[in-house]
Amino acid sequence: MIWQALTLQLGYNAALVALGSAALGIAAGAVGGFLYLRKRSLVSDAISHATLPGLALAFMVMVALGGEGRFLPGLMLGSALSAGIGLWLVGRMTARTRLPQDAAIGAILSTFFGAGIVLLTIVQTMQAGRQAGLEGFLLGSTAGMLRADALIIAAGGAAVLAAVLALRRPLLMVAFDEGYAQVNGIGVARMDAALMALVLAVTVVGLKIVGLILIVALLIIPAVAARFWSERALHVVMLSGLFGGLAGYGGAALSATAPALPTGPIVVLLGFALFAVSLLVAPSRGLLAAALRHRRLQSRVHLRQGLLALSRGEPVYEAMTRRMLRRAGLTRPDGQPTEAGRAETARIRLDEARWQALRRSDTLTDLSSRDDGLTLIDSVLTADQLAALDTTLAPRGAT
Amino acid sequence: MGFEFVALSLPPMVIGTLAAIACALPGNFLLLRRQSLIGDAISHVVLPGIVVAFLLTGVISTLPMMLGAAGAALVAVLAIEAIRRFGRVEPGAAMGVVFTAMFAGGVLLLEQSDTSSVHLDVEHALYGNLESLIWLDAVGWASLVDPSALSLLPPELFRMAGVTVLVAAVVALFWRPFVLATFDEGFARSLGLPTGLIGLAIATLAALAAVAAFDAVGSIIVIAMFICPPAAARMMTDRLGAQVAWSLGFATLSAVLGYVMAGYGPLWLGRTDAVSAAGMIATVSGAVLLLATLLGPHRKHP
């Protein structure tokens, strides 16, 4: 069943929804990548919650005009309008009053959502039966989706994706370096507005599938996950799109296999799984890599300090250092250095003596800042410099 | 009028007001510390908490659910902090990752488990059920002085009142350290105040208010009351003491006016069914904020 779902064999509608959801996921991931690089991730939370009043109002208007209240393009238009107003208000509040952006986001989010709920309760008391389904926009549902709706979502996802591709260069430049973009004749404010329009488009297209409470996750989680893998803006955005696409496709396909698997939460949890894997195993930024790095540094420090103590003929008191020296085959069980240990000890001792000589020297003393207690002097000086330094060592004999 | 009002409208109105006050109070500090969205995050993660509590105990009862909610809030705070610190992710995004994922997990658990026999669903979690907190034993205003009738008030009222008093007492008791740590963390630290601990205390207070209010009135009121009344109050004054007073006034106004408009507004407009009180209270608080941002004497950047 799951395999069939993932290979699009559960019927034409389910396949259409899965493909549309994949396109939406890619677009959301990429847009979210730009949003994250611009540090505006949570604005999308305000936008998505602000769609609800427009959604309900559009339904009421369409019913009042004698049409079908659930006509998806009409609902999308209404939600886009009210989300646009919410977005505009967040901008105005942040610019014109002394409220910080997070407060403006929270205020718009809660007020619009509250108003939407009020309108929703009015819708529920209109002609019973016909409104069934508006609640589906809260958490998303693809069960029993109309063919026309599935087509609209697939086309919408593709359209947003095309818009992202078309705008990728200026968006990338602004995300990478505002000043540089300005010099290249790109209006930063205009590109930010375009980015917000894309966020709005993703939200409106995703309402039916992922739902307005969770669509924000599709804009945030893939981007945060992608950021772990790369330091380059373009790669982050591309990878974020890939993650979003995987989550969108997998979520829509899986939820088609059982009625109790709502699409939105599955999409979000798949995205979160990708994030968790990235957090753990990404090279350089991931937790495992960080732990390994820490471990390597730790062992270098302990070995060096242990060897220094041995070179002075002192016993090693630190239990961990003793263990590490033993494991590296540098000491015997009784704590005395082995053959290899004695060679290492001599090397470290020479290194230490050379650093001291460097500090006393007239020409090389500037380099003493490179002595962090771990760096070997051979990696700092040339062979000639070392030889010159060694001549100053000789007369002092054993220290 | 007397009987109906006392039995059907007074208790939810009082509970709504208490919830609004309990949330607005710590909201003032969160606003100034730029942590306003904590309320948003907490109210989302409460859902998996109560679902897990329900699955473990098999019953809908307040104590395990409050514990579950508090546990979930704690998990969320730790997860956000861990992702922020170990993953070097900016705080807003770390919060977005955690609360959406936990909310999604809660919804999925809820859909997968058999909760059809009990009153536990996503809608309830979102907009509560303020209208159902009625006092059927009241016979009129006289019931307010009748101990036997009073003891049958909805239990949410006593819980909410207790939490509100607790929150107010903590804020009053630690007023100076809270204010100092909020306005000038460096100065507060130089005075020897444990600023990290104070930040944690404020967040805990917010979580306590959110969990208690969530149980009674749903998350929309929680999110709105953490932000809108304090933000509106910020437009009215430069002094924190006055700001807190304004915010409590705005919170009370929103709760009472919102409840009245939801319960009676549609009737005045000739409709028969009331609308969501939680949604209307949030809407009114937003309208109050809108007026304050347009007219408040201290609305501009200083």
Using the predicted structure, report yes or no on whether residue A380 has a pLDDT greater than 50. yes
Phi and psi torsions of A331, nearest 5°:
-130, 160
Cα separation of B107 and B99, whole Å?
Answer: 12
Compute the average pLDDT of residues B48-64: 83
B126 conformational bin, left if phi > 0, alpha if psi -120 to 50, beta if neither: alpha
B226 touches chain A (CB under 8 A): yes
B78 touches chain A (CB under 8 A): no
Compute the average pLDDT of residues A158-184: 88
Q: Do B286 and A103 touch (CB under 8 A)?
A: no
* A272 contacts B101 by C-beta, under 8 angstroms: yes
Using alpha carbons, list the distances in angstroms from residue A274 to A224, A242, A278, A372, B51: 10, 11, 6, 38, 24
pLDDT band at residue A127 using 50, 70 and 90 as cut-offs:
low
Which residues, 6+ apart, have CB-to-CB distance to B41 below 8 Å? Answer: B76, B80, B95, B98, B99
DSSP code string of chain B: -HHHIIIIIHHHHHHHHHHHHHHHHHHHHHHHTT-TTHHHHHHHHHHHHHHHHHHHH-S--HHHHHHHHHHHHHHHHHHHHHHHHHS---HHHHHHHHHHHHHHHHHHHHHHS--TTSS--HHHHHH--GGG---TT--SGGGGG-HHHHTTS-HHHHHHHHHHHHHHHHHHHTHHHHHHHHH-HHHHHHTT--HHHHHHHHHHHHHHHHHHHHHHH-HHHHHHHHHHHHHHHHTT-S-HHHHHHHHHHHHHHHHHHHHHHHHHHHHHTT-SS---HHHHHHHHHHHHHHHHHHH-TT-S--
Cα separation of B187 and B195, whole Å?
Answer: 10
Q: Please tell me the distance in Å from A115's CA to the nearest CA on chain B.
A: 5
Count of beta carbons in the 10 Å neighbourhood of residue A102? 24
Cα separation of B280 and B262, whole Å?
Answer: 6
Question: Tens of pLDDT along B116-145?
Answer: 556 666 777 777 777 777 777 777 777 777
Using the predicted structure, report yes or no on whether residue A336 has a pLDDT greater than 90. no
Phi and psi torsions of A337, nearest 5°:
-65, 145
Using alpha carbons, list the distances in angstroms from residue A396 to A354, A367, A399, B233: 12, 22, 7, 76
pLDDT at A398: 47
Residue ranges of domains in chain A: 2-281, 288-396
Count of beta carbons in the 10 Å neighbourhood of residue A137? 26
Cα separation of B32 and B240, whole Å?
Answer: 10
B131 touches chain A (CB under 8 A): no
A221 neighbourhood in chain B, CB within 8 Å: 96-97, 100-101
Using the predicted structure, report yes or no on whether residue A82 has a pLDDT greater than 80. yes
Question: Tens of pLDDT along B232-277?
Answer: 999 999 899 999 999 999 999 999 999 999 888 887 777 777 788 8
Using alpha carbons, list the distances in angstroms from residue B223 to A28, A63, A106, A246: 26, 31, 7, 32
Using the predicted structure, report yes or no on whether residue A394 has a pLDDT greater than 70. no
pLDDT at B292: 94
Cα separation of A206 and A42, whole Å?
Answer: 17
- The distance from CA A355 to its chain's CA centroid, rounded to whole angstroms, is 44
Percent of chain B with pLDDT over 70: 94
Compute the average pLDDT of residues A257-283: 89
What residue type is B130 in one-letter code? L
Phi and psi torsions of B28, nearest 5°:
-60, -45
Name which residue leads in pLDDT, B241 or B218: B241
pLDDT band at residue A29 using 50, 70 and 90 as cut-offs:
very high
Q: Which domains does chain B have, with CATH numbers?
A: 2-218 (1.10.3470.10)
* B17 contacts B252 by C-beta, under 8 angstroms: yes
Cα separation of B258 and A16, whole Å?
Answer: 44
Cα separation of A186 and A178, whole Å?
Answer: 9
If contacts are CB pairs under 8 Å, which of residues 162-221 in chain B contact chain A?
Answer: 220-221
In the A/B pair of chains, how many CB contacts fall below 8 A? Answer: 203
Tokens of A53: 């009043």
Q: Helix (H, G, I), strand (E, B), or coil: what is residue A163?
A: helix
* A21 contacts A252 by C-beta, under 8 angstroms: yes
Cα separation of B21 and A116, whole Å?
Answer: 23
A2-281: which CATH topology? ABC transporter involved in vitamin B12 uptake, BtuC (1.10.3470)
Q: Do B286 and A107 touch (CB under 8 A)?
A: yes
* A77 contacts B242 by C-beta, under 8 angstroms: no
Q: Do B39 and A228 touch (CB under 8 A)?
A: no
> For chain A, first and last CA: distance in Å?
77
- Most A CBs within 10 Å: which of B276, B288, B290, as the mutation test of the A interface? B276
DSSP code string of A198-233: HHHHHHHHHHHHH-TTTHHHHHHHHHHHHHTT-SSH
Using the predicted structure, report yes or no on whether residue A265 has a pLDDT greater than 70. yes
Using the predicted structure, report yes or no on whether residue A399 has a pLDDT greater than 50. no
Percent of chain B with pLDDT over 90: 33
Q: Do A269 and B101 touch (CB under 8 A)?
A: yes
Count Cα atoms within 13 angstroms, Cβ side, for A399: 14
The residues that bridge with A337 in the sheet, in sequence order, are A331
Q: Helix (H, G, I), strand (E, B), or coil: what is residue A354?
A: helix
The residues that bridge with A331 in the sheet, in sequence order, are A337
